Chain A
Amino acid sequence: MSLPYLKKAVAEDDRETLIRYVRLHLGDGDDAAGSKEIDKAWVEALKPLLELPETDRGFIESTLAERDHATLCHLFFYLHLYLVRHSGEWIHDGPF
Chain B
Amino acid sequence: MAPSDSSPSKQLRPGLWQVVNDRYPGSMITKEDLVPLAALKKPLSECRVAFLSTSGVQPKGSLRFDTAHPVGDFTFRRVPSESPVEDLEIHQLKYPTFGAERDLNVIFPIERLRELRDEGVIGALNKSFYTFIGYNMDPERVERTLARDVAEALVEDQVDIALAAPA
Chain A residues engaging chain B, CB cutoff 8 angstroms: 1-6, 21-22, 25, 28, 74, 77-78, 80-81, 92-96
Choose, from B36-44, B46-54, B94-102, B144-152, the stretch at the interface.
B94-102
Q: Residue of A at shortest CB range from B138?
A: A3
Contacts of A22 in B (CB 8 A): 70
List of B residues within 8 angstroms of A93 by Cβ: 92-98
Q: In the complex, which residues of chain A have a beta carbon less than 8 angstroms from the beta carbon of B26?
A: 1-2, 4-5
**CA A81 to CA B70, docked complex, whole Å:** 12
State which of B71, B94, B138 has its C-beta within 8 Å of the C-beta of A28: B94
The reply to whether A74 and B28 form a contact with Cβ atoms under 8 Å apart is no
B residues whose Cβ falls under 8 Å from a Cβ of A: 24-29, 56, 67-71, 90-98, 137-141
Which residue of the partner chain B has the closest CB to A25?
B70
User: Inside 8 A of B25's CB, which chain A residues have their CB?
Assistant: 1, 5
Asked if B71 and A3 sit within 8 Å, CB to CB, the answer is: yes
Distance, CA A77 to CA B29, complexed state (A): 25
CA–CA, A80 to B70, complex, Å?
A: 12
| Given known A2-B27, A2-B139, A3-B141, contact A94–B95 (CB-CB < 8 A) | yes
CB-defined A-B contacts under 8 Å, sample of 14: A2-B27, A3-B71, A3-B137, A5-B25, A5-B27, A21-B70, A78-B68, A80-B68, A92-B93, A93-B92, A94-B67, A94-B91, A94-B94, A96-B68
